Amino acid sequence: MLQNNLQHTDRLRLPVNGLAQPAPADGGGISDVINFAIGLLRRQYLVILVAAGLMTAASLLYLRLVSPTYTAQVQILLANPRPQFVQQQSLLAEPAFDLSQIETQLQLLRSKATAVAVIDQLKLVDDPDFNASGLSLQSLWQRIRSWASTGSRKDSPPETKAAESSDTLVDAFLSRLSAGRIGYSNVIEISFNSSSAARAAEIVNAVANTYVADQLNAKFDANRRATTWLQERLRDLGDQALAAQRAVDVYKAQNNIVSLDGKPIDEQQITEINNRLAAARAQTSEATAKLARYESLLASDPTKPSSMNNLDAVGADAMNSQIITGLRQQYLELTRREAELTARVGRDHLAVVNIRNRIREFRVSIFDEVKRLAEVSRSEFELAKQRQEEIEKQLSKAVSQSRSVNSAELTIKDLDSRAKGLRSLYETFLQRYMGSAQQETFPISETRVLFPASPPPSKSKPKTRLVLALGILGGLALGIGLALLRDLMDRVFRTSSQVETVLELPCLSLVPLLPARKPAKLPVRSRPTDDDVQQRIVQSPTAIHRTVVGMPLSRYTEAIRSIKLAIDHNPAKISSQVIGITSALPNEGKTTIAASLAQLIGHTGKKAIIVDCDLRNPSLSAIFAPKAANGIIEVANGSRSLADTIWRDPTTNLAFLPAVRRGPLLHTSEILCADAISKLFDRLRADYDYVIVDLPPLTPLVDVRATSSLIDCYILVVEWGRTKIDVVQHALHTAPNIHESLIGAVLSKTDTKAMARYDGHRSYYYHDSHYIRYGLSGS
């Protein structure tokens, strides 16, 4: 038996569920988890096994009811590009197969149109997989849905019911059809589930072929619509281009606009006049410059020799004149001769003077010729100036005329531009139309089936092994979850470590649960005899209350001895003579433990008395002295003496002070607080070695709180596996004076065989072999 001498350092901690867990130690984490798991399996193995069995049975039932499903698969390639010359002539854009395009194709594969086409092609209306005529769970679910929809629309017209039936068939078909992209490729894999392998392959091939044909027909329809629209557009563009060209010609004729080399006449005329004006202005400028040079030369004095220095600046006309050239040569010859004669004969010689006079005559002659040339140059200047003015007048007139036709030219340009644009657009559309007409004769689709599906050799679902494995593992997981939940909800005391951790009290003993025994048959006495009443002999109690005397080598008696040992070695108080036995709730075994403790003390030869202070429910008096006429209340009020009230057990020499309930007691706490009760207990202290007091429970009554002045120490009895932790904590919290005087707690009615499942760390303490070795019996 686990005694109170267990080390406090070995106490177990209390988790949320109330079960004891080992205190963490260095390197003991794994072993703690293992011990907790083993203890959980020991405690809740039935729950785990039942849950696993139910889930396994459900898996077997599922495998039995669900019909096998075969999945056929076919792959479609989306990237089959057209030839280059076809792409160049295509009217429609050729989008790249990116993620959005592939997702669009997947939606088309899973569309209602594809489903309806395949259903009509293969006549799936009569297929039992779709008309809910089979015995599978899916067909049963379809029937339920059909009945529910029919029941909700009883008054619907036949057309609505037919449409709903068709929608149900399509939904059933689409629920079996799946399509998805294979990795990052442009290959789509289509799958279909059916109860028949051949039927699954047939349907999935039909889906693939329907999709490919639909894509090809969509391309043809799109090209045909584009070609038709393009043909109508070409006709309209041709008419518009012709009308625009005719409008240009009509407008030109109305405004007398004639063009040469692609340019209007007025524009050419202005350009020509501008060119002539530029030439005339250049000629005028040249004549003006020449005349200015002549005038500059004529302004000098011809008689002076220096005037000949400016003759070269006149220009090419003067230099090219034969007269001036001849005169100038003679002038230069005379100048040379003058210089020679002057050097020989002197400046004033007559010959030199004659030559100088002739030189002067030549200069005058040259200037006369220059004057004639100047007059000619002035005539040329006047003529050039007159020509320039005439050309300027012609230009002004041409510009004036051109302004009057600017608006007409703008209109002509706009009409001509529109006509050219329409003609260009018409030619472009004509080219595209010819290409599309040729493309219609080249039938090719961008999609193709890589390989047709064949009937699958084995069913895809349900997978028997997987379902059974999931059933077993799921059952085990569910069972473990339920077991953990039960442990979490198990907020009761199971081990001594829980008592020590939660209540912070030592667990004095684990009192085992005694099996119910048939009491020995006693002589039937209808009324007490005068001898029994006079001698006040305690009646033979039940077998449980006689265990400590009848079975002194039992585990039960050894547990009671542990309580007595704790009382004798109580370190909290010097005196532990008056011991109160109480509990949090009724029927936790406090009365039985009080009686057993008192009998054990009396059997050892000590003077002991047990007092029944449960005044409202004196159960101990009903067991030991059911015929008692007087008790503690009569002794306290002085109507009876203590000696005339005490009953005795001749076997153990135990004294018993009963409590007789004559009617309803309203103020029992006041009775227990009275001075008479205090004096009574003082007398009991003087007469007896041990005073065992059977007290009422803490929770329903306050009587126990009134006995703190009478009792030296208290022992709290807690029923194993029944008393809630929160109830005991609340009871002690509301009675702090009792809590301070508690020397410990006792777990009563302990199932010693089940203790090994809850206290895994010390399970070996509960083995019967340890007790049998010392002559102790299991009870």
The predicted structure's pLDDT at residue 26: 45
The predicted structure's pLDDT at residue 38: 77
Name the pTM for this structure.
0.52
What digits encode the pLDDT tens for the residues 190-199? Answer: 998 888 888 8
What digits encode the pLDDT tens for the residues 248-268? Answer: 777 777 765 655 444 555 667
The predicted structure's pLDDT at residue 582: 95
- Residue 519's pLDDT band (cuts 50, 70, 90): very low
Residues 180-189, mean pLDDT to the nearest whole number: 86
The predicted structure's pLDDT at residue 570: 80
Residues 128-147, mean pLDDT to the nearest whole number: 58
- Residue 645's pLDDT band (cuts 50, 70, 90): very high
CA distances from 608 to 419, 577, 596, 603 (A): 135, 10, 12, 9
The predicted structure's pLDDT at residue 761: 57
Residues 106-124, mean pLDDT to the nearest whole number: 86
Higher pLDDT, 437 or 25: 437
Quote the tokens at residue 713: 């120490």
Residues 174-185, mean pLDDT to the nearest whole number: 87
Tally of CB atoms within 10 A around 472: 15
> Which residue do the tokens 């004057």 mark?
371
Of 37-46, 534-543, 555-564, 708-717, minimum mean pLDDT range? 534-543
Residues 332-358, mean pLDDT to the nearest whole number: 81
Residues 308-322, mean pLDDT to the nearest whole number: 59
Quote the tokens at residue 696: 């009422």
Phi-psi region of 93 (alpha: psi -120 to 50; beta: other; left: phi over 0): beta
Average predicted confidence (pLDDT) for the chain: 77
The predicted structure's pLDDT at residue 491: 84
Strongest mean pLDDT among 309-318, 551-560, 565-574, 736-745: 736-745
pLDDT at 312 over 60: no
- Strand ranges of the sheet holding 507-512, from the earlier edge strand across to the other edge: 507-512, 742-750, 713-719, 578-583, 690-694, 608-612, 654-657, 647-649
pLDDT at 688 over 90: yes
> How big is the CA angle at 318 (ends 312 and 321), to the nearest 5 degrees?
130
pLDDT at 522 over 60: no
- Residue 218's pLDDT band (cuts 50, 70, 90): confident
Higher pLDDT, 379 or 18: 379
User: CA nearest 710: which of 693, 732, 698?
Assistant: 693
pLDDT at 549 over 50: yes
Higher pLDDT, 538 or 135: 538
The predicted structure's pLDDT at residue 37: 80
Strongest mean pLDDT among 131-140, 149-158, 329-338, 672-681: 672-681
CA distances from 126 to 129, 207, 208, 381, 425 (A): 9, 18, 22, 116, 57
CA gap 693, 658 in Å, rounded: 11
* Beta strand 690-694 pairing with 608-612: parallel
The predicted structure's pLDDT at residue 525: 35
Quote the tokens at residue 192: 């279909």
pLDDT at 583 over 90: yes
